Amino acid sequence: MAAILCPLCREPLQRQDKTWRCLKGHSFDVAREGYVNLLPVQHKNSRDPGDDPQMVMARREFLQAGHYRPLLDALLALAAPLQPRDLLDIGCGEGYYTGALAGVSAQATGIDIARAAVRAAAKRHPGVTWLVGSGAQLPVADGSVDLVCNIFTQMHLAEMHRVLRPEGHVLVVTPAAGHLRSLRERLFDELRPHDPDKFLAAFEGRFELRSRQELQFPLSLAQPGLGQLLRMTPYAWKAKPERRAALEASEGLETGAAFSLMLFRRRELPAEAAGALSAEPVTSGPWRRRGVD
């Protein structure tokens, strides 16, 4: 398991029965479902940050129905040859991808700022270490992770670089240009194409692009799958209510999924170079409502 840090003093945490405790006496109880909340109040931007329970439930039902199974298979094919000892999934959500990726790693940790999502993940996948925490201030020790996964969520590049071991990797998934095009045409007057390339420049200083794969597959969505897709993404709440209502009342929709999967390898940086690089977060896609800030 990746070395977990106290979010208050940054000292290592040790598990003692149902409590995680650091040498300075800070303690964090393991919830009944099996996760640990390492998001102090002072690190929150709102009372209950992250995806709400309705979005979490919709995403879980949609993914469990297998609609994005080709994406999961592609992720496993990229991750398995790396044989990671310690895998960290940032913005893990309800754990669909994390739970599967745990099968190709010795130890897996999932972290998300949304407690409802982590609670759902812990219930379904007890073999993973589940944390409520911030991607902007990961409660993970320097150089303790082999593979970081970032699937449809904000990327805090300095933090990902910090927690990775030398020669560690980052696996990024972001929507490609044509993703859910017909769905978005029904919701919006003007489409803004997804641009997977927009954040590549930010990676150049800290990471080397090792491979890139474009994945496309058709989606034939009847109800309730279409309604679940609407509820699990920000598209619906950005759209006009009448357009969302029309889609929710329809029998189904033919559309297509399109993703860009990129594998980066960590570069070793001199201290002065690392300090000169931007620490601003990079957004890989509009999927998560408030991401993992």
- Let me know if residue 25 belongs to a domain: no
Question: Distance between CA 48 and CA 146 in Å, rounded?
Answer: 31
6 in a known ligand binding site: yes
- Let me know if residue 19 belongs to a domain: no
156 in a known ligand binding site: no
Closest CA to 137 of 8, 28, 24: 8
Contact in structure between 261 and 75 (CB atoms under 8 Å): yes
Helix (H, G, I), strand (E, B) or coil at 162: helix
- Let me know if residue 265 belongs to a domain: yes
35 in a known ligand binding site: no
Please write the tens of the pLDDT for every residue from 57-86.
999 999 999 999 999 999 999 999 999 999
Q: What is the CATH number of the domain that holds 248?
A: 3.40.50.150
22 in a known ligand binding site: yes
Mean pLDDT to the nearest integer, 192-198:
81
DSSP category for residue 8: T
Q: What is the pTM of this model?
A: 0.91
- Let me know if residue 57 belongs to a domain: yes
Please write the tens of the pLDDT for every residue from 79-130.
999 999 999 999 999 999 999 999 999 999 999 999 999 999 999 999 999 9
Looking at the structure of the chain, the number of domains it has is 1
Q: What are the start-end ranges of the E strands in the chain?
A: 14-16, 19-21, 27-29, 36-37, 86-90, 107-112, 129-132, 145-151, 154-155, 164-175, 207-222, 252-266, 282-283
- Let me know if residue 3 belongs to a domain: no
280 in a known ligand binding site: no
92 in a known ligand binding site: no
Please write the tens of the pLDDT for every residue from 245-261.
999 899 999 999 999 99
Domain assignment of residue 196, given as a range: 35-283
- Let me know if residue 112 belongs to a domain: yes
9 in a known ligand binding site: yes
- Let me know if residue 212 belongs to a domain: yes
275 in a known ligand binding site: no
- Let me know if residue 290 belongs to a domain: no
